[in-house]
Amino acid sequence: MQIQVLKSKIHRVKVTGADLNYIGSITIDETLLEASNIIEGEKVAIVNINNGERFETYAIKGERNSGEITLNGPAARKVQKDDIIIIIAYATLEFEEAKTFKPWIIFPNEKDNSLT
């Protein structure tokens, strides 16, 4: 049997932009992607702390150490600049493997989305 478990989580980052005219996705600072073990193109769930919205999109790589968190395309309507969001990725694992799996969870600084 397989189950879905938390694989990666970027906990409480500030939205730096919303670009309605982009095709779609969420742009995430490359440093945050690497630290959370999320790869470009991976499906992610977004939870908006400010308004309760929950939706899915995919990750694209932003400039390293820029602090960028930009929602693109239709997802831009679900957030406003400076909203605080949580970014979550899940993995499907065998039940026994899932029992010992340890997710990558990071807690960036909410002021500038840095890891320091």
Which parts are annotated binding residues for substrate?
Answer: 57, 73-75
Confidence of residue 112 (pLDDT cuts 50, 70, 90): very high
Above 90 in pLDDT, residue 23?
no
Any residues with CB less than 8 A from the CB of 75 and at least 6 apart, and which? Answer: 18, 24, 25, 26, 46, 55, 57
Any idea what the Cα angle at residue 100 is, between residues 99 and 103, rounded to 5°?
105
Confidence of residue 53 (pLDDT cuts 50, 70, 90): very high
- Token pair for 49: 């702390």
Active site residues: 25, 58
pLDDT of residue 24: 80
Confidence of residue 71 (pLDDT cuts 50, 70, 90): very high
Which parts are annotated binding residues?
Answer: 57, 73-75
- Token pair for 5: 């478990």
Phi, psi of 35 (to 5 degrees): -65, -30
Q: Indicate the residue type of 53.
A: E
Above 90 in pLDDT, residue 55?
yes
pLDDT of residue 77: 95
Any residues with CB less than 8 A from the CB of 91 and at least 6 apart, and which? Answer: 4, 5, 7, 101
Q: What is the mean pLDDT of residues 26-55?
A: 98
Confidence of residue 116 (pLDDT cuts 50, 70, 90): confident
pLDDT of residue 15: 98
